[in-house]
Structure 1
Amino acid sequence: MAGWNADRIPDQHGRTAVVTGANSGLGLVTATELARHGAQVVLAVRDTAAGAEAARRIGGGTEVRELDLASLDSVRAFAAGLTAAYPAVDLLVNNAGVVLLGPRRTTADGFELQLGTNMLGHFALTGLLLGVLAAAPAPRVVSLSSITHKNAHLDFDDLMYERGYRATTAYGRSKLATTVFGVELDRRLRAAGSPVVSVLAHPGLTRTNLTPRAWEHRGRLGRLTARLGLLAAQPVEQGALPQLRAATEPGLRGGRFFGPAGLFETRGRVTEARLGGEAADPAVGERLWSAAEELTGVSYL
């Protein structure tokens, strides 16, 4: 499907979509396009003031709800409030994420911050929302991967990366874990006969606010590096297309993975992306799933 763009999104009227991290970047574009095509969109955001401004820009019936994926208490509170308000949710886009290049930091629950936010928070959220997702006619979960997952490795003996910490390596691990989660979720949904479909996407190299923030502490050199990286990146409107296609293309089978077609998958038209070897390994999926259930206290399927 060459040249896929947001104008090819089918009518979304009657659908309820939850987009995490929807107040800026990829999440804001995704939420905006879903709302433009008729969906009722819930902006799940840590900063509700920024979320309110995003909702004002998007217009329509967009709703803002507080969600801090770095806190399991916040995840549980969000899920409880959402399930009380919505008997069915058609789409969950697990978009939110953090990227660090500084010292090791942890979540409120003691998890390494990038793994805890990017993967474990979304693991818990998806499990807690699975009931309202399954109540929708054609429910779907989209997990946001990254090309960095292909060179990453999950160390199950040091999952929280307490030894020899490197922030860039930790980010790659968190995105590998997110990708493994999306693939393993698809396996388990199929085995359980669930109507929920799990698909994945990655944005390639995209111009968002994450990279400049990550390099801020590096001073002038860091800011210059961030600017050079942004010059090579594609616009956020283009970077959001893989996850929009994953979220809206009718009849997708579980496990589909979309990303940019050009220049080592960093930019270009939307196409089928390739999983890294570890991401597709069922043994890795089984092991990560068990660890995530134990760490979050959320069990499903």
Structure 2
Amino acid sequence: KKPGGGGGGGGERLKEEARLAREREKEEARRAKEAEKARAAAEKEARKAEQQREKERRAEEKKREKEEKKKEKEAAKAAEKSTGGRGRGGAAHAVAEGPPDDEKLEMDKLVEEQRRAAGLPPLVEGAEPSGPELPTPERPEFPPASLGLAPAFGGELGGDVGLGGDMLLVAGFIHSFPELLGLRPLPSVDDIAQAVYDGEDSMLLASIHTALLRTVLADMEEAHAAGAHITTGLGPGVSIDRGLQHAGLLLEEAWAWGYDVESWRAHLNMLTWPEVLRELAVAATVG
């Protein structure tokens, strides 16, 4: 027997035991990590399912509210048609709604002329209309052809499509909020029309959309941080800023769809804005 042989064997056993202990610790750590990942995945799926249920509930509420408003509008139109806009309750309606607008006054005049031409007496405020029910008169063309006005826009900007009016609205918005968009010099209507014609290749169009998207994302995050998306637990008579609430809920919708809003903000540029706009439209249920 060689000297020191027994001590060497004991050292090897200790090393082997230490190695086995390390492997057991690694295995336990691995199992714990897998269990944690499984738990996190289950919680994520539960949150996703809850968000989906909440989304469906909100969609159902919106649908129900839309149907109720539609029924109310149809009932109001039917009542207005049956009374020519002046039937029973007209005075109370006028007080509640304020002074009538120009279209209402114009329609009242057309109804009066129609009844006169049909040999019927004029309508009396607060009384039921007499005589047979007449069809709703059609509004005359505006501006009248007798004026001989030349169209403000030609080609695709004019005609039935009427893109020229939209261009004027866009130009007016840009000129009203130059600091928000950071566009210098301010584009003209011709510049905007050319940008629309160029499409996604237009630097002006990209600059406008990028600035607007950054503003929308900032509003979404600020509204959500302020708790504007929380509608439960509010007492009666508590007023809510609907625009602020919608911005906060839009962030919740984006998360429910699985979109990374931070990635939107970090990677929004002249090339990526169409995709960011598409995903935002999907989250807003208009895509």
Category of TM-score, reference length = shorter chain: under 0.3
Larger radius of gyration: 2
Using the size of structure 2 for normalisation, the TM-score is: 0.19
More helix by share: 2
What's the TM-score, normalizing by structure 1?
0.19
